[in-house]
Structure 1
Amino acid sequence: MSAEPTERRPGVVMHVRCPDQLPEETYRQVLEQLHELSAVVRTLPPTAAPVDLRGALRYHRATAVHLGEILRLRTASRYGVDVRVGIGPTVTVAATASAQVEGAGGVLAIEAAHAADWLALLPVQDLHGIGPRQAAVLRRYGVDRVGLLAALPAAIVQRLLGKAGRIAAERARGTDPRTVTPRRVPAACPPPSASGTASPTMSSTALRRGRPCSHRSCSSAPNCVAASRPRALTLTLTFAGGAAWEKARRLAALRAEDLVDGNQVAEQLSLDAARRARLTAEETADRIREKFGPGAIGPAATYRPAS
């Protein structure tokens, strides 16, 4: 007796778009309203956030459209901000729908059964995830609608767009296996006070080790490590005569997501015994220097032989 495979139920994703140039504090307030509707909210700064509503529909005993209208009412009445809400079975459909909302705000819901047909009529550049260069390449070959993109074999689209072509073809057909992963905006330090007090600075050692923020008025100081890591460095030299010289360097954009505790991560086994021994020795040496000082231990070749 074999069990029949069960069909996967379509998801319910709400994609929220705030107005452009929205202040960060207002964006955080909108996110608080989203967390009151659902526990699964992924922040996409500076103005967007997808939300998984599957559990929220059962909890609130309401439809997705009704929750979208509640969100608009709360953000407009409390913060004076109207939002555009797209609802669909996948992240791609919901994000595409929110971009199609006309005006400053509104709700557009696309049913799972009609998602592919609705996408097919859109211009290819309106599909979420298709950039201007990719859209230009597709139009050059006569693919100006999402429906035409969905009709092409994935291998041909991959030849035109590269590695992203196969994913674009699947999303054009309404297929998107991605799920909404919860992620909050990291706490931020407050700006300098109006009295002209300089904002706190952190030493290079503190930045490398990820020490908490030293700002006394920051209520989120224990959790302010992520917000205190620099993405750009500027060196300014002021000379006695008043002239100044400034040099800026932009750091590489590298972001780690979905962080978990270190004890929950699998450790990669090493078959290089010499390398493993060297790393163990370095870790032990660091502990000795931290306890007894930097000159307590070092390479044997740097020490003079005992007489």
Structure 2
Amino acid sequence: MDEQHDQAVGAGSPILHLRCPMDVDPELYRLLLRLAGEVTPVVQALPPAALAADVSGSVRFFDRDPAELARMIRTRALALYGLPVAIGVGPNWTIAAMASREPGPGGVRAVGSSPEAVAAFLHPRPVGELHGIGRAQERTLTTYGVHTIGLLASLPEATVQRVLGEKSGRLLRERARGVDRRKVMPADLPHSAAAQRRFPTDTLAPELVGAALLSLAVELGERLRNRRQAARAVTLTVTFADRTQIHRSRQLPGGPSAHTDDLRDAAYEMYRALGLQRARVRAVALRCEQLLDAAAVAEQLSFDAGREHRLRAERAVDELNARFGSGTVGPAASYPQTG
């Protein structure tokens, strides 16, 4: 079944989905983004280890079909950087992303745009392999006897919506039928990173707010370090029970950083400076801004032994989270307390 999908495809399959090894060095990932950008300007970064590209405008320029362009990118990535890239080629994002999971020995899998080619690629596969489906949705469908993507595609839309909900049901059924309306949007690594914590009930407890701010610093610090970026400034947003908001920004005093310590300290200082006493807080958000390449940031020497120990621990935590999943390990104070 699969050999036919490794052949050349026409211009009707212009979407490329590229996957690097999950532990790819962030600098190599940046180089791959630039390499893909030499083939097409329509490249969307999907950090930390994937990207999507639309080569519709490159087929005539290079006089090569999308599968050949994918092989060219892969060959260059191996030759220049020693980077093994798996590339899926398809008529849309869903098909290309699924094809990149099983690229075959040549590193590239191409799926044609004809209804027959799409159905042959999608329909025999387990429903859990459908791009974008969640584990809970997979369990629900298999409970009802829907074990393959083809079965999902054959069901009436109303039936799928009753089982999975209106929006999710329509979206997943369309993808099972090979329909994905998303466009690849040119986007490099982002210039800011943000996260929010909303409390189950409005709170007066400073310890709950402190734990939330710490968890935000942990999350954003890990995200920046994975992208090899550093922030010059941090903005804190506090949302109150009456839905009003207050915003405070601060440049990081020690210079650009992605260390949890620095983000946490800035968040704590901004919150303390607000002088809140009896204000009920509904949510807090933190945004890291003015991001730049971490390679351009000089690491400050520190004579604080405690800080050096925490930075070593931070690196160890990053390695564990990279191996077992983000959020697996972190400061105890950043986790919600129960009981």
TM class by shorter chain equals 0.5 to 0.7
Match among 165, 178, 181 for residue 169 of structure 2: 165
Counterpart for residue 185 of structure 1: 189
Indicate the structure with greater strand content: 2
SS class of match (2:83)? coil
Counterpart for residue 319 of structure 2: none
Q: Where do residues 196-215 of structure 1 align in structure 2 (5 Å cutoff)?
A: 202=233, 208=248
1:81 is displaced (CA, Å) by 1.0
Conserved? CA contact 1:42–1:51, under 8 Å: yes
SS class of match (1:49)? strand
* Counterpart Cα distance in 2 of 1:11 and 1:44: 20
Conserved? CA contact 1:65–1:109, under 8 Å: yes
Q: Where do residues 87-98 of structure 1 align in structure 2 (5 Å cutoff)?
A: 87-98=89-100
* Counterpart Cα distance in 2 of 1:52 and 1:26: 21
Q: Where do residues 6-85 of structure 1 align in structure 2 (5 Å cutoff)?
A: 10=12, 12-85=14-87
Residues 244-277 of structure 1: per-residue CA shift (max 9 Å, x gap): xxxxxx965889xxxxxxxxxxxxxxxxxxxxxx
* Counterpart Cα distance in 2 of 1:96 and 1:17: 11
Match among 152, 155, 171 for residue 152 of structure 1: 155
1:235 to 1:58, Cα distance in 2 relative to 1, 3 A: same
- Aligned-partner residue type, residue 100 of structure 2: S
* Counterpart Cα distance in 2 of 1:97 and 1:254: 35
Question: If the length of structure 1 is used for normalisation, what is the TM-score?
Answer: 0.60
The higher-RCO structure (CA 8 Å, 6+ apart) is 2
Q: Percent identity?
A: 37
What count of residue pairs does the alignment treat as equivalent? Answer: 212
Conserved? CA contact 2:234–2:252, under 8 Å: no
1:112 to 1:251, Cα distance in 2 relative to 1, 3 A: farther
Moved over 4 A (4+): 199-205, 207-215, 250-255
> Is 1:112 aligned to residue 113 of structure 2?
yes
* Counterpart Cα distance in 1 of 2:231 and 2:92: 43
- Aligned-partner residue type, residue 119 of structure 2: A
* Counterpart Cα distance in 2 of 1:203 and 1:112: 46
* Counterpart Cα distance in 1 of 2:163 and 2:73: 40
> Which ranges in structure 2 are unaligned for 5 or more consecutive residues?
1-10, 193-229, 237-246, 267-282, 289-339
* Counterpart Cα distance in 2 of 1:200 and 1:42: 22
Structure of larger gyration radius: 1
- Aligned-partner residue type, residue 60 of structure 1: F
* Counterpart Cα distance in 1 of 2:235 and 2:93: 40
* Counterpart Cα distance in 1 of 2:132 and 2:233: 38
> Which ranges in structure 1 are unaligned for 5 or more consecutive residues?
1-8, 189-198, 219-226, 237-249, 256-307
Match among 131, 135, 159 for residue 132 of structure 1: 135
